[in-house]
């Protein structure tokens, strides 16, 4: 029987299958079900910076609100509607008391303003690690790429200042030099990088001429983008752990990511589309793959096909369809 256990950000996992942050990980019932299904760890649904700061503002102004004002009413109604922060901390505490697998809390943010105390509270509540889902949409033509990269690093530095638990940065792939960016994240203390987040994407409804959201779920073809970068980054920045995310829909995809050098694979869309039973297929395939190749443990094959292990890593570097330009496509 192969040994599937592994270490991610210093945490011991029974296997490298991690459930990604989403509505699937936002309630204790689902978290318990996922543990029962055998997954290695769970990243809780994100709490958003705005939600946290909304509540922080409320707390700061609590005394002032004795004198009722329209602003105070807003704060109170926000608080009653959301009550997010306390609920989230309760979820962390409950999850930690009921399940044994590591629980990774998640914060979605675009700045390092105002919410740092909450990161500290998450640690106190028992979170095993923290995943920072940072996405800055660059829409200002006067801001340089370096300025934006510094914002990611500032967020990481501030979080690392207030917590001792390991911190993972969940990023998108829109960096001019992704390897350089991950290297800086590693140098600034990120224990892991989650590559990649999947964002709401815009679409246009031609019947109504309105903006709509494209499908929120990935497809298995979306694996390729993250596979390329897992392979390259794991070879170039070996110190950082990689959680491959986007397009892992089955066991085959998880194994490919591990071969490319991922430490763990995170799954989300496939569980929405196929139900929690999909974890059975993923874990069964991983085991059967290891038996077939006589791999006793994950380390026997992790990174075997990463950029640094290949004598000629051209498949990771090739970006253009040269074959087609040189005649085949005519
Ligand atoms: C419905 C839905 C909700 C999500 N919510 C979050 C979230 O709260 N925080 C986060 O970091 N990522 C969130 N994600 C992104 C997923 O965690 C994951 O990174 C992304 O879907 C790519 O993985 P996949 O191809 O397995 O779906 C969400 C994705 C979906 C589809």
Low-confidence stretches of the chain (pLDDT beneath 70):
54-82, 319-330
Give the separation between CA 243 and CA 261, rounded to whole angstroms.
10
User: Which CATH number goes with the domain that contains 186?
Assistant: 3.20.20.70
Q: Whose CA is nearest to atom 29 of ligand 1?
A: 22
How many domains does the chain divide into? Answer: 1
Kindly give the distance from the C-alpha atom of residue 246 to the centroid of ligand 1, in angstroms, as a whole number.
8
The whole-number pLDDT of residue 231 equals: 96
Report pLDDT digits (tens) over 95-138. 999 999 999 999 998 888 878 889 999 999 999 999 999 988 88
Q: What is the DSSP letter of 297?
A: B
Residue to mutate (ligand 1; options 27, 91, 198; most atoms within 8 A of CB): 198
The whole-number pLDDT of residue 72 equals: 56
The whole-number pLDDT of residue 69 equals: 55
**Considering the domain boundaries, does residue 1 fall inside one?**
no
- Kind of pairing between the strands at 11-13 and 6-8: antiparallel
**Considering the domain boundaries, does residue 23 fall inside one?**
yes
**Considering the domain boundaries, does residue 191 fall inside one?**
yes
Residue to mutate (ligand 1; options 48, 197, 275, 279; most atoms within 8 A of CB): 197
Model-level pTM?
A: 0.89
Let me know how long the chain is.
330
Task: Give the CA dihedral 35, 5, 22, 107, nearest 10 degrees.
Answer: 120
Cβ atoms < 10 Å from Cβ of 239? 10
Tokens describing residue 321: 């369809």
**Considering the domain boundaries, does residue 196 fall inside one?**
yes
Residue 269: give the domain boundaries: 6-328
Scanning the structure block, which residue is given the tokens 């490919």? 256
Atom of ligand 1 nearest to the CA of 46: 8
- Using only the alpha carbons of the chain, give its radius of gyration: 21
**Considering the domain boundaries, does residue 136 fall inside one?**
yes
**Considering the domain boundaries, does residue 208 fall inside one?**
yes
The whole-number pLDDT of residue 80 equals: 46
297 forms beta bridges with 3
Tokens describing residue 168: 């993972």
The whole-number pLDDT of residue 298 equals: 98
Tokens describing residue 179: 């390897």
The whole-number pLDDT of residue 230 equals: 97
Identify the helix (H) or strand (E) that includes residue 292: helix 278-292
């Amino acid at each position: 029987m192969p040994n599937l256990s592994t270490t991610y950000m210093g945490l011991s996992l029974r296997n490298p299958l991690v459930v990604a942050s989403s509505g699937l990980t936002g309630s204790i019932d689902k978290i318990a079900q996922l543990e029962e299904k055998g997954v290695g760890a769970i990243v809780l649904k994100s709490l958003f910076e705005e939600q946290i700061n909304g509540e922080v503002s409320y707390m700061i102004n609590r005394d002032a609100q004795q004198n009722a004002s329209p602003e105070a009413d807003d704060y109170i109604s926000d608080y009653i509607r959301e009550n997010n922060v306390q609920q989230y901390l309760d979820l962390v505490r409950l999850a930690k008391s009921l399940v044994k697998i590591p629980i990774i809390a998640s914060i979605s943010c675009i700045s390092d303003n105002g919410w740092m105390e909450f990161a500290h509270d998450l640690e106190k509540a028992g979170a095993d690690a923290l995943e920072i889902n940072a996405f800055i949409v660059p829409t200002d033509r006067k801001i340089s790429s370096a300025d934006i990269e510094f914002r990611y690093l500032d967020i990481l530095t501030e979080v690392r200042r207030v917590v001792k638990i390991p911190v993972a940065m969940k990023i998108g792939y829109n960096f001019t030099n992704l390897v350089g960016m991950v290297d800086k994240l590693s140098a600034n203390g990120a224990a892991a990088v989650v590559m990649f987040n999947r964002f709401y994407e815009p679409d246009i409804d031609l019947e109504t001429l309105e903006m709509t959201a494209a499908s929120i779920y990935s497809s298995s073809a979306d694996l390729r983008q993250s596979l390329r970068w897992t392979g390259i980054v794991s070879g170039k920045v070996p110190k950082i752990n990689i959680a491959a995310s986007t397009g892992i829909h089955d066991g085959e995809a998880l194994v490919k990511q591990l071969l490319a050098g991922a430490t763990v694979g995170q799954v989300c869309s496939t569980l929405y589309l196929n139900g929690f039973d999909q974890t059975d297929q993923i874990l069964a395939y991983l085991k059967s793959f290891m038996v077939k190749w006589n791999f006793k443990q994950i380390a026997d094959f992790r990174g075997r096909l990463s950029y640094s292990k290949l004598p000629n890593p051209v498949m990771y570097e090739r970006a253009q369809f040269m074959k087609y330009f040189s005649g085949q496509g005519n």
